[in-house]
Amino acid sequence: MHLRCLLSMLLLATALGSCIHRVPPPLPVVELGPPLTRLSRAVDAVADAYPVATPPPATPGTPGSKPVHDGGDTSPGPGTPLTGDPGLLDAATTHDPSLLEPFRGYHLEAAARAGYGVVLVCTPDRSVLLLEDAGCTPNLDVAWYREAEPVPCAFTLDPVRLCQVAGTPVMEDAGKDTSSGTGARTSP
């Protein structure tokens, strides 16, 4: 009798244990290229219209001390390092939050310059850059994890220069669809 009860409890515990939702481990970094290109295209699509305030200089009253709302620019200007903006990732994935799923377990950052988006993937502790991609290019731009020496987790790509090379116009009105009033870039 006790054996039958013990076996029933063991069987029940096994059945219940198999129903518990297990969080899958993070995808290996080598499998993140295609999902990153999809995510970077989504960031690039919203980067042109994304309102970002450039922080004022430390000294009030100097020229440019007011925040400048320059749609699609999360950095102070050319030649300065890009800085990530979590709101840009949120804006790019509101239509499809599943774009972030493959990156569970990794650190993600998105930034934009002159309306062009770029995304990086780093180790969870934010110490090493693994992948970096600009949304204007068709393929993954840089697989930093393949380098012999680890690269610090920071933006290295200049999306304006990269997108000019890729053939996407960056002049004021070049390539923009003005008929709809959206300012969306069109393919050349």
Q: Are strands 129-134 and 116-122 parallel, antiparallel or unpaired?
A: antiparallel
C-beta atoms surrounding 105 within 10 Å: 12
Instruction: Tell me what pLDDT residue 51 has.
Output: 61
User: Which residues of the chain have a pLDDT value below 50?
Assistant: 6-7, 16, 18-22, 53-74, 76, 170-188
67-89 tens-digit pLDDT: 222 344 445 455 667 888 889 99
Within-domain flag for 53: yes
Would you say the pTM of this structure is higher than 0.85? Answer: no
Residue 78, strand partner residues: none
Note the pLDDT of residue 182: 31
Domain total in the chain: 1
- 138, part of any domain: yes
> How far, in Å, CA of 86 to CA of 142, rounded?
21
How many Å apart are CA 148 and CA 53, to the nearest integer?
37
* pLDDT for residue 27: 76
In a domain, 80, yes or no: yes
* 74 is a domain residue: yes
User: What pLDDT digit, counting tens, does each position of 5-21 carry?
Assistant: 544 555 555 554 544 44
Q: Within a domain: residue 14?
A: no
What is the span of the domain harbouring residue 152?
26-165
